[in-house]
Structure 1
């Protein structure tokens, strides 16, 4: 396991099972708080990082595991991949979201106390849902293969039309305009029979391709099923005879997933949990980055009393820092910029990229470059305009760190002139902007994607502290967080830990075998 210098004993240690664990953002936060974490992760690169970081890991698809395999896990956490919902309200994203909500409602109907369904009946509902999803995935796979074939044929027709235009002596500009106008074939003036035949074939392929795209949107993809996994694990532990419910649950994802978490919460209340969903702005928790995360928190209600109005709600996680407002100073948030969360104390200014990197450089000068005042130019466009790259200066929080972070340019402040050798953030620097320790041993393939997909550990500190240590007073909670942040920054990896695979249960503390 990893080691941490000067760690104080936590109020209580929990055994946590982290689904879709990634490179270990939540895990390292839990570790500095004194909890034991086991993650399940399928990505080879993320598993390589976890191994180097000393994170206990089972490598494989979450669907190959069951809650009953880990009877000693007390807390369930995770962030199922939900990219299909990021366009919710527009076509495929909206349909995928509605489909998941319908599946959750079917599970809710099965587990409601008034339904009086046995475990066998509840499991039958899940099996039917799983079979429906499996058939959809198989059909989607066939449609994708057909779509690839149509796209290849379409590309050949495009090439054939270009060649025919060249044979007919059309100018390069004329050919370019013709190819551009293929988006609206009705506007094209056809003057050659062979070209006309090619254009008709191209149009037919376009029509066929659009129908296949519509079919894929209707079918969804495997992530539709993955987002249901944490809920089923909670249901299995709550309703399966001989099992004990998880004491707490923490799930997080992009903002578009909030309707899923809200629907989850309804089911969890029926299972005896107090819950809270919260949209969290990361910079309001000391992360040097603006990023919004939808978080679901739940704690088993052990009072034995029925949940009345408001009694099924956990308190929100208190913010500790100001929200970032581009046109104002850190100390002067715009009116109405606060959320419904209450601070533990007077909020501090948000943390800038410069400040975070300076702190990390003091710990590890070799891993963080010393730069003059800089501006980061995002790889992404803004406002739907690809050419309008987002810009953030060094004295502001970073824009959202994504899997494209390695493509962001670092330039002299207020210019487009690259900072010579330091024109890109290193893996360590990108990790620091996600609040990973500067010593975090990023490994394996596509590290930028690992960093971008990870839970910011500092955000995880706040959520885990709130859900797992509700007995602390405000003063104790503030001191606990202060120490945890210092421990997180100073964290260093210990000995690597080889990952396990499904079936390798012997001697594992969560399996009891």
Structure 2
């Protein structure tokens, strides 16, 4: 017999009843699943959304179970799977061939010791580790800073590209054991003036002062809102989201409260995160080929599922072992 006609398209009426137009978009996959179920597909389903969508995933689960699926829904933290970001997302897993269950977490906020049941989970991956700023447990680099025109401080010597990762690539980063950044010197006119008053030629090697002065920690601020998440570089990032805030995610220095006022004034200005850095904090390769202008690039990054989390979720259903270095598993 011929297949039954498709159900009437009521999306226009439903959209008018939605308080948030994105609600209909989150419900749209059920239309596809209904059509595929009529031909005995799919074998498994995986969905990811913001935590507020979890009640909708539970509605999905109730329907999918009547179609013969095993279903699991819940909130997963990407940091628990090796992503350098505490990104929490609502997940739906459904399968016709296996019991649906989330993958076991591989990381925890604190490293766990080995036990009779096997090795413990690793410590959450920090931003500094993910960006290659050091090889120690709490890697934070040391940078040489220069003063800008009119006496205003700059995080790097004049004419340089003002991004943390670029500074590391140029070799101006060095590991610092107590996880703080040390201000090396400030530029006055065409000469370097060290804090102790020593003058050096402009082309001389910049001295580095790591004594207990001019020191701060770098943190990542998620946006310009008053309630923005701020995390130190030796922690995972907060949830990265950009949308219309493509240029609001910034590295900010945290001056030590014990520093004298004259030294706190030398603290460098915030530095905008780069697309390369943001992508790496989503667990994408450093050379991932993002497309479009800056706004579209940051939108792609903010809306993406972290590949490392996706690989953990997909591996069992693709009958492949999880390999943290195999980016193609989630591509």
Task: Normalising by structure 2, report the TM-score.
Answer: 0.63
Alignment partners' CA distance in 2, 1:219 and 1:275? 26
Alignment partners' CA distance in 1, 2:108 and 2:52? 23
Distance 1:255 1:136, change over 3 A: closer
Match of 1:444 among 283, 286, 292: 292
Give the superposition deviation at 1:234: 1.4
SS at match of 2:240: coil
Matched, 1:378 2:233: no
Give the superposition deviation at 1:360: 11
**Who is 1:428 aligned against?**
276
Distance 1:348 1:233, change over 3 A: same
SS at match of 1:485: coil
Alignment partners' CA distance in 1, 2:228 and 2:27? 36
CA offsets per residue over residues 256-295 of structure 1, 9 Å max, x none? 1111111111111111211211310111111101110111
Alignment partners' CA distance in 2, 1:396 and 1:429? 15
**Who is 2:69 aligned against?**
273
Distance 1:462 1:411, change over 3 A: same
Larger radius of gyration: 1
Alignment partners' CA distance in 2, 1:456 and 1:301? 26
Distance 1:300 1:439, change over 3 A: same
Structure 2 gap segments, 5+ residues each:
136-163, 174-180, 182-216, 257-263
Distance 1:435 1:281, change over 3 A: same
Alignment partners' CA distance in 2, 1:455 and 1:360? 26
2:222/2:240 contact within 8 Å kept: no
Structure 1 gap segments, 5+ residues each:
1-117, 141-217, 303-312, 324-329, 334-342, 473-479, 494-513
Alignment partners' CA distance in 2, 1:356 and 1:233? 37
Alignment partners' CA distance in 1, 2:274 and 2:18? 39
Larger RCO (CA within 8 A; separation ≥ 6)? 1
Matched, 1:291 2:90: no
Q: CA RMSD in A?
A: 3.5
Q: Counting helix residues as a fraction of each chain, which structure ranks higher? A: 1
Alignment partners' CA distance in 2, 1:226 and 1:393? 35
Distance 1:288 1:135, change over 3 A: same
**Who is 2:154 aligned against?**
none
Alignment partners' CA distance in 1, 2:272 and 2:68? 49
2:14/2:24 contact within 8 Å kept: no
Alignment partners' CA distance in 2, 1:463 and 1:418? 43
1:283/1:397 contact within 8 Å kept: yes
